[in-house]
Structures are given as structure tokens and as C-alpha cells.
Amino acid sequence: MRAALLLLLVLAGAVPARAQTVVTSAGPDKVSVTLYRDPNRDTQSAINRSYPQGFALITETRTVTIPAGPAVIRFEGVAGNILPESALVSGLPDGVEEKNLDANLLSPRSLFDRALGRRVLVRRTNPATGKGQLLQATLRSSADGAAVLQFGGAYGDLRCSGLPEAIVYDGVPEGLSAKPTLSVKTTAKAERQVTLTLSYLSGGFDWQADYVIAMRKDGQSADLFAWITLASTDITSFVNADTQVVAGRINRVANSNYGPRNFASASYLPLQCWPLPEYDLYTRERFAARGGPPPPPPPPAPVAPAMDIIVTGNRVAAGMMAEAKMAIAEELGDLKLYRFPTRVTVASQSQKQVGLMNKPGVKLAPVYVSDIVRENTQTALLLRGKNNAANGLGAAMPAGKAAVFSDVGGQMLLVGESAIDDKAVDEVVEFRMGRPQSVSAQVVGTRRRPDDRTTAYALTVTNDQPWPVTYEAKIHLYDYEKMARSSSRLGRKDGASLWTTVVPANGIATLSYAVRDDRKR
Amino acid sequence: MRGLAVSVLLLVPGVALAQTAPQPSAQGDVSVTIYNNDLALIQDTRRLALANGVNRQEFPDVSDRIRPETVRLSVDGASIVEQNFDYDLLSPSALIQKAVGQTITLVRTNPATGAETRERAKVLATNGGVVLQIGNNIEVLRDDGLPVRVVYDSLPPNLRARPTLSISLDASGGGTRPATLSYLTTGLGWNADYVALFDEAKSTIDVQGWVTLRNDNNVAFTNADTMLVAGAPGQGRGGNAGMAPGTLPGTENARRARLGDFYLYPVGHRITIAPNQQKQVSFLSVGGVPARKLYQYRNDWYGSSSDPVSAATVLSFSSSKDGGLGDALPAGTVRVYIRDAKGQPQFIGENRIDHTPMGSTLAIRTGEAFDVKVKPAVEKREKINSGEWERTEKFRISIDGGKPTTVEREDEVTYWRTTMSYTVTNARPEPVTVDLVQAGLDRSYWHATRVSSESIKGEQRSLDERLWHVTVPANGSTVLTVAFDTRY
């Protein structure tokens, strides 16, 4: 057996000479990875660590020696989720004639299909004696009708007998490769060593910002730290890579005709037998009844859960974050680019975090906000601050999640989770913390007569905390409604009437207002 | 295991284990014309050796996704009798179905000893199980689960390994002659991929255009004369994606061959299209084309937003001969790159364009601006009297056949006035101009809208859309206020 295997291996390596020289570049000398966030993932959703939907631009520097005359340069070790039409090769002195992605993969199906009409060996093992027997056969069916074989003057099938049988091929057909392979064609005037730059987009990456907000004892300011969290599921690890992330929303095109092909199902070789209802073998009838070929093999098992994204309160308290090296921000057109301070390894199937910003003493004030439509109210607690230098911020804040901690008896405990969209400098940043327990708002409407055009409303806000709180009510009116009067002066915000007040400690605040319906009767 | 290896070499001493060389293709001189809608025309000139009279010719190595009803064969001195496309594939289940009523050989293997015994059996039926007659007994094949091998004496004639095209020809004389087989097939398609490197400081772009063609067939087209048609026959796939809004398509003639009203993009040299291959060939490379960056924002309805919305970043350039790319652009994807602080190109977004005539102005929306945002808000909505009166009713009244009197009623025209504000903010260190569009002005019964006041002079682009160029200072904001009057 060992001898036979050895023989096959030797034969597999013997690739016949082609008209043009094939130069193989095994891997990059230097690589740079720029990650982009999934443009369709909202800020609330976490990175899908099994199937990240963001992408990356990979830029590789490779050194190859190209011969004079026509040559094909094959690039190995590119990302597995490469988008081949995005590939760019620069640095070839005589240009690129064509770029190819060959996806004719070596698989049970392609081996079988290429052997049609050829001689193969069929190995039968006697189940009683364990003795192997090799028979010469000729394949007579293609992979779509597998498998009918000719043994001398007789014809038969494969494995329908219930006996162990296998096809042994005499070599690897030309043109089948282990992985989809990117190659370029060029014709150089003279042999020379060149340094090429290969860049391409690849799926299977994602990143986001993760904000850690530690509220200070005054309740009006916080220490804000942010991580860049990135994830990769690509089969290729990018070792010692210059790493960048790009913040901002990028437009992507859905490739209807040119999406990644399902290589797994195209590699599957179904063996068919005659109708055999009681036995678990594929038959043509059962195939049709199930509406198609058997499903492709299951996707690789999801990655074991990696480190939790939330950084624990103890680490916040330990002051570790102040020591983290921060990414360097730069402008990239209308986007923001963050360059990692040192080269890192963007490893396969892993998640990595690097410091994004560290802003101690940020003014971030809690505000309770209600949205009111007639008698319906929805109240939330926000942490609000303006993104400027005076407030201790003043840097672009990429979209991401936030975890808010508060000091309770010397321990930092999680008090809420939130998320923000991309926030530019001078924008108001609001971390929405969800429904509050201690402040609630209630609206009751009354009409003097049932058909009265005017409705009087009373808004009552209660606070059970031993300190006063800032409160805002946004009163939304229908197009045909008009604010007739109110007990306090109302402002405008986001197309709604705005009431701002302070609810006293363990107290109540009230507003009465009236709305007139202007519709024709 | 070692024993097996020995028996391998002993049992088949004559088998030559060798690298599998490719089988020569039966194709002749091939030309491939690929359309955009997963459609291609294959023309394959082969040499046929025909005898005088009726000949049956098989055509192997046609594409596996051939549309057989589109096959056409042109050959001198022969007429077509019939054309067949056989797709009854050879498989174990097809074999046994065709063996109904015939006799096969069963080889039973004793699981304890491995001894083989042979017997003849007649296949009676294959409905949900193979019913066999062995001597005078009737049984179902492998009903006991024990190993039984079925051996056939021959293969039925109509079963084939692959779908096969065969044509019967009536030749008026013997001899070898060229014959051109042409057919349509799916599984071949193409589009364009553009790479645009934008230099913001110089306001220029360098553009490379690649045609990307893909073969999902298992058949190679070797040394094929390849032609790409920018069009999808039979499908109205025309569109204006990528065209700048408010501009007309270009009217310049690109120096390329045409087919009907489609442009042809020849590949330039013969290429080999391998099975399951995606291939890219360059067709355009221009540098230093003027381009500018725009910011666009569009509000589709009179609505408020509680969070500011980023304006779109748009790259605008021309496909004209003068100051543009100078070519008709086949449909595809434009990917835009910009150099970072270290000079390395970084991707900043992509978008699709449709077939674009030469001389057009393009506007490619690449993404959203981080620092330029718009926050629309409905400030006020009120009912107003215009001071205009219109006749709403007119009656002619005649009492008991007397002289008719005319009564008219006039009502004051009332409008609903919606006052919108658009707060445009800019966190960039330079001033920007945002092309702000309010749409939805002519939707259903809302039409007859007029703009009664606006803080910046706008331009009415169509009945439905009004456009303002809002200039915002560096690190500042500008508020545009507009009042729209509608009748209802």
C-alpha cells in the first residue's frame, strides 16, 4: 500500500511542460491588510464570528523571477475568499496580458469525470478474507450518472453490490488544482527579478469599535476608552501584517452573476444505484423525490467561542487601558483610516483587539428622554455629550457597541449596553441605555365634548431617585394637528415640540398642553 | 496491508501508471461571442468525413449547457435529415430499467468465506425495488442485504455518458469538408470591472478597464476567437445606473465595431477559455482624467430624522473624448481607490454602471461621507389662506319654467404649508457643497406644489425634485429652510 501511495504521489508531482513557463510565487514578502466593516450590519448587531460579512483589501508585495518570453505567474497563499475580479497586479515591466482564476478543483467528481472512457483500476476487498483484488475497468458514465464500469466484456456498477469497492486512478489529470488559483500572463523581454504588488478584496473579515465607558462619581463625566475589534475567518493567516481599519459606510455591489461559486457542491460525486428502498443508498428515484442532488457537505464547524468582547470592570479599574498603544487616525477621502501602531498577525479564525482612543474625563451627562404621541410614551435614558475638545472628546467616533460601567462601592459594575453610529466631530453623541426603572412619564388626554377639536393633555414625570434628573419630552403631532397652548414654553427638536425640565429628587414634574385638530369636518 | 501492495503489482503487471494527458478536443476552429445575459454564441468549424448518402454524425465537446434547439449546421453538399440531442444518461438505475425483460448475471458473495457463486436472473420490474425471476422463484434484488453484484452482458444503445448532439446528414457525394456548427449556450458570461484611482488633490482619476469573462461549463474553448457584445439580446436590460442625475446620455461615437445597437469589444487575440475559469483581459487604460468629488443628499419625503444622515460621496467624471475616458463603457462595477498617507492605494467604495455611451457624465456613489451630514426636520405644518379665490360651483336655477338665474360660488384657495429645515454639518477642515434634493413633490394627489420661500435659491429639476447647492463652511453648518405649499 505504501508503495502504491508513493507511486501516486510521484506521479501527481509530474506536471507536463506547457507552452509557456509557469512561475509560482509561494507567498508574499510583505502584506498589508485593511479591514472594512460590513456595510449592512447595524450598530446593534454583533460581528458574526462564524461568517463575518465585512471584507478586507489585501495588498501583498511578492518577489518573482520572470523568464524571457511568455510566462504564467501563479500566486499561491492568497486569501481563500478572494474576489478575483478585484485583483490588481502592478510592477510587471511588460504589463499583464490576462488574469485568470482557475477553479477546476481536484475532487472526487473531477477525477471521475476526467476519467470517462479511460482505463482505471477497481479495488475490491473480500470482506471475509480481507484480501484485496485490483481489476482493470473502463469508466462508461460521467459523474452525472455515476457509476457504470466496463470489466472486460461485462458491465457493472460501483458499490451497489454492498461490497467495498474503490476506483484507483492512474494519475492526476492536467489542469486540476487543489485550491482556486489566481494567475497572470505576461511576456517579458528579458529574464529579471521583479517586485510585484498584488492587491485584491476578500470577504470573511469584519470589524467594529467597542467603547468602554466608566462613569465617574460625579455622574456627569466618564472615562471613555475604545477598542478596534476585528475578526477573520479566512483560511490564510496574514503574518506580521501592516494592519488598518477603515471607518465609514462604503457602497458595495451585490454580484448577481459573479458571486463566489459553491465549490463544495461542484466537487461532490454522487454514486447512484438501482431502486433499493430499504437500504440507505442513493437511488435515482429517491433523488428526484427529494428534488435534487444531496446537499453539499456541512460547512466547517463554527469557531470555538473566543475571548468575550466586553472588557471586564476589573481591567478598567486596573488602569490597563492607559498603557495600550493606540491606532493612528488619518483621513482617507471621506472615510477615516486607523493604522495599527505595530505590525500584527491577522490570524485565521480569530478575533483581535487594539486600542482606538483613550479619552479620560469626557463630559457625558445622563438625560431621560420621552417620545410622546398622543397618550403613548416611550422613555429612555441617554448618556449625552457633544463630540468636541471642550467636552474632552473631539475625534471621529466609528460605529460600534458601548458598555457602560459605574463605580459601586469601589467596584466597576456593568450598568448598561448601547451602540452608536458613526459620529463626526461636533456631533451630539448619545448612548441610548434603554428603558429606565426610576423615571417614568405618563400622558392623559381629556376633551370637554366627545367631538371637541381640542384635546387637553397632562404629562406627569416621576423620579424615585434621591437626586434631580434632566428630562426631555418630544411631543410628536400629526400633520393636521397644532399645539394650541402649553403650561411651559416649548422648543422644537427634530420636527417635534420639545419640553426640557429638571425633575426634582424623589419628585414629580408636570406639563399640561392642548392640541387642536385642523381637519375639515 | 503490505500483502495488498504486493497483490496490486502482481495482479496488474501490464497497467501503465502514467500522468493523464488531456484528451484532444473534437472542436475545430472555434469562435465565441459572449453576451451580458449569461448567453453565448459558439461557432465551431470542424472537418467532417462524409460518405455518399445518409450519414449519422456525433458532435462531442459541445458546451454542456448547450441550448440544443438553437443548433444550426452549415455544410456544403449535404442536407440535414434530422438532429437529435440525447440526454438519457448512463447510470446504474437507467441500466436496470432498460434491462426489464432481459436476463442478467448475479454474483453472490458469501460473507463468511468470500466465495462467489453466479446465477442468471430475469429482470421483471424496477418499481421501488428490482423484482427478479431466478429459475422458478421471484425475489427482490438484495432484499436480504447480502452482497450481490449485478453484471450486464452489454450496454443499451441509447444511454450515453454525456448529453450528445447527433445530426443525420444526406450527403450528395463522399469526402471531407468543413462544417460550421453554431449554437447558443448558457454558462458563459461577461461584464466589465473598472479600477479608478482618485487623486483628490489633483482632481484626476486613472482608470483601468478589464473585461471579466467566466466559463461555468466543463468544456474548454481552446484558442477561441472571442468577441464580447455589450448587450443582452431579447432583454431590455438598458438602464442608466452611474449616469449623473439631470444629465443626458452621451452622443459621441466610440471607435468600436457595432452589432445592431450594441457595441462589440474584441479581445484582441485568440484566447483559451478553460473550464470553470474566470478570465480578465484589459480593454481600457487612461490616466489623468479630470474628476471631482460631490456630496449628494436626497430626502424622499417631507420627513424628520432624529439622527443626522451622512451625505453620499460621489465621484463624477466624463466618458467623453475630450476631458474624459474617451470610450463607451460596458456595464460593470467601478471600484474606487484613493492613496493613504503612506501612498498605498486603499479601497473607498464601488458601484455598478450600465452600458454608458461615450460623452456621458458619470456620477459614481462610492459610499457615505463620515463628516458631512444632513438632518432634515419638519418645522411647521399649517393651513394658510392664499388670498386667491376660485370658482368652485355654478348653478343655473329656473323656478316653474321662469327665466333661469345663474348662481356661482367662490371659495378662497387654501394651502397646506410644510416648512422644512435641513441642517447640513461639515466636520471637514475645508468648505463643502452638498447637492441637496427634496423629492416627492409630485406624488399622487400631492401635485400642484409650489415653493413659497427658500433660504437658498433652488432649481426645479423635475416636477418631483428640487435641488439646492448648499455650501457649508469648514467645521461649520448651514441651515436650509424651505416652505412647500400643497393643496391637500
Quick: pLDDT tens for B383-398: 777 677 777 778 888 8
For A401-417, give one letter per residue: b (16+ CB within 10 A) or e: bbbbbbeeeeebeeebe
Across the interface, whether the CB atoms of A274 and B141 are under 8 A apart is answered yes
- Say which residues have a Cβ less than 8 Å from residue A35's Cβ, sequence separation at least 6: A54, A55, A56, A205, A206, A207, A230, A243, A244, A245, A246
Q: Which of B111, B208, B378 sits opposite A127 (nearest CB)?
A: B111
Residue A194: pLDDT band (50, 70, 90) is very high
Q: According to the model, what pLDDT value does residue B445 have?
A: 61
Contacts of residue B372, defined as CB under 8 A and 6 or more positions apart, other chains included, come to A334, B295, B310, B311, B424, B425, B426, B427, B428, B432, B434, B472
Of B21, B304, B348, the CB nearest to A333: B348
Contacts of B303 in chain A (CB under 8 A): 495
- What residue in B sits closest to A286 (Cα-Cα)? B128
Identify which of A142, A251, A278 has the shortest CB distance to residue B366. A251
pLDDT value at B440 more than 60: yes
Residue A277: pLDDT band (50, 70, 90) is: low
- For residues B426 and B474, the answer to whether their CB atoms sit within 8 Å is yes
A129/B148 Cβ within 8 A: no
Strand-pair category, B277-299 with B309-318:
antiparallel
A20 touching B (Cβ < 8 Å): no
Residue A39 near residue A85, CB atoms below 8 Å: no
Instruction: Determine the average pLDDT of the residues in A357-362.
Output: 92
Q: Contacts of residue A274 in chain B, CB cutoff 8 Å? A: 92-93, 95-96, 126, 130, 141, 150
Of B64 and A229, the structure prediction assigns the larger pLDDT to A229
pLDDT at residue A21, as a whole number: 87
User: Residue B374's closest chain A neighbor by CA?
Assistant: A427
Residues of A in contact with B19 (CB under 8 A): 11, 14-16, 171-172, 174
Q: Quick check: B148 pLDDT over 80?
A: yes
Q: Give the pLDDT score at B230.
A: 87
- Do residue B19 and residue A171 have CB atoms under 8 angstroms apart? yes
B392 in contact with A, Cβ within 8 Å? no
Contact A35, B41 (CB under 8 A): no
Task: Tell me, yes or no, if A129 comes closer than 8 A to chain B by beta carbon.
Answer: yes
The model's confidence at residue B23, banded by pLDDT at 50, 70 and 90, is low
In chain A, what residues touch B145 (CB-CB under 8 Å)? 162, 278-279
pLDDT of residue A262: 52
To the nearest whole percent, how much of chain A has pLDDT over 90? 48
Task: Indicate whether A207 pLDDT > 80.
Answer: yes
CB B37 within 8 A of CB B232: yes
How many angstroms separate the CA of residue A128 from the nearest CA in chain B? 5
| A279: closest chain B residue by CA | B145
Q: Any idea which of A194-203, B19-28, B192-201, B260-269 has the lowest mean pLDDT?
A: B19-28
Q: Does B252 touch chain A (CB under 8 A)?
A: no
Q: Which of B100, B203, B205, B278 to mutate to test the interface with A (most CBs of A within 10 A)?
A: B278
Residue B220: what are its φ and ψ, rounded to 5°? -90, 145
Residues B102-129 have a mean pLDDT of 91
pLDDT at residue B264 tops 90? no
With an 8 Å Cβ cutoff, is B100 touching chain A? Answer: no
User: Which of A104, A121, A155 comes nearest B275 by C-beta?
Assistant: A104
Mark which residues 65-84 of B lie under 8 Å from A by CB.
none
| Residue of B10, B93, B423 best to disrupt the A interface, most CBs of A under 10 A | B93
Give the pLDDT band (50/70/90) at residue B10.
Answer: very low
Residue B202: CB atoms within 10 Å? 10
Asked if B367 lies within 8 A of A172 by C-beta distance, the reply is no
A275:B95 CB<8 A:
no
* pLDDT (tens digit per residue) in A407-451: 888 888 898 899 999 999 999 999 998 889 899 999 999 999 888
Tell whether the model's pLDDT for residue A515 goes beyond 90: yes
pLDDT of residue A305 exceeding 60, the answer is no
Query: What mean pLDDT is predicted for residues A94-120?
Result: 87
Q: What pLDDT, on the 0 to 100 scale, is given for residue A306?
A: 37
CB contact under 8 A, B150 and A171: no
How many whole angstroms from its chain centre is CA B334? 15
Q: Mean pLDDT over residues B165-181, rounded?
A: 90
Q: Which positions in chain B touch A142 (Cβ < 8 Å)?
A: 89-90, 161-162
Q: Which of B162, B348, B380 to mutate to test the interface with A (most CBs of A within 10 A)?
A: B348
Quick: pLDDT tens for A51-66.
888 999 999 999 999 9
What pLDDT score does A263 carry? Answer: 57
d(CA A163, CA B114): 11
The percent of residues in chain A predicted with pLDDT above 70, rounded, is: 84
Average pLDDT over residues A370-390: 94
Per-residue pLDDT, A19: 59
Instruction: Chain B: give the shortest CA distance to residue A495, in Å.
Output: 5
Centre a 10 Å sphere on the Cβ of residue B43 and count the other Cβ atoms it contains: 18
Three-state secondary-structure class, residue B363: strand
- The mean pLDDT value for A25-30 works out to 90
CB atoms near residue A137 (< 10 Å): 22
Average pLDDT, chain B: 86
Return all residues near A29 (Cβ < 8 A) that are at least 6 apart. A61, A62, A63, A195
Which residue in chain B has the smallest CA separation from A33? B346
Instruction: With beta carbons under 8 A apart, name residues in chain B contacting A144.
Output: 89, 91, 162
Helical axes A2-13 vs B2-11, angle rounded to 10°? 60
Range from A320-334, B109-123, B190-204, B313-327 carrying the lowest mean pLDDT: A320-334
> How far B43 CA lies from chain A's nearest CA (Å)?
23
The H or E element containing residue A112 is helix A108-114
Query: Counting one residue from A and one from B, how many pairs have CB atoms under 8 Å apart?
Result: 347
A102 phi/psi in degrees, rounded to 5: -100, 120
Does residue B382 belong to the interface with chain A, where contact is any CB pair within 8 Å?
yes
Q: Which neighbouring-strand residues pair with B17?
A: none
A252 has a pLDDT exceeding 80 = yes
Single out the residue of B359, B358, B362 nearest to residue B336, CA to CA.
B362
Residue A176 reports pLDDT greater than 60: yes
pLDDT at A14 over 70: no
pLDDT at residue number B447 = 60
Nearest-by-Cβ selection for B282 from A96, A119, A495 = A96
Q: Is the CB of B91 less than 8 angstroms away from the CB of A145?
A: yes
Going by C-alpha positions, the residue among B482, B434, B440, B433 that lies closest to residue B299 is B440
- Going by pLDDT thresholds of 50, 70 and 90, the confidence category of residue B20 is low
A chain contacts of residue B475, beta-carbon cutoff 8 Å = 425-426
Contact B347 A57 (CB under 8 A): yes
Pairing of strands A238-247, A328-332: unpaired
- Over residues B218-232, the mean pLDDT reads 88
Mutate to test the interface with B, among A85, A282, A476, A521 (most CBs of B within 10 A): A85
Cβ neighbours of B389 (radius 10 Å): 11
Model ipTM?
0.79
CB contact under 8 A, A250 and B15: no
Judge: B346–A144 Cβ closer than 8 Å, yes or no.
no
Question: Vertex A422, ends A421 and A428: CA angle to 5°?
Answer: 80
Contact call for A157 and B189, based on CB within 8 A: no
Q: Would you call B385 an interface residue with chain A, using a CB distance cutoff of 8 Å?
A: no
Longest dimension (CA), chain B: 128
Residue B240 has a pLDDT of 80
Quote the cell numbers at residue A425.
466631530
How confident is the model over B357-388, as pLDDT tens digits?
999 999 999 999 999 999 999 888 887 776 77
pLDDT at B236: 59
Question: Mutation test of the interface with chain A: which of B19, B217, B416, choosing the one with the most A Cβ atoms within 10 A?
Answer: B19
* Min Cα–Cα distance to chain B from A50, Å: 24
Say what percent of chain B tops pLDDT 70.
92
How do beta strands A192-215 and A400-408 pair? parallel
pLDDT above 70 for A507 = yes
Residues of A in contact with B202 (CB under 8 A): none
Task: Classify the C-alpha dihedral A418-B426-B363-A84 as positive or negative.
Answer: negative
B38 touches A: beta carbon within 8 Å:
yes
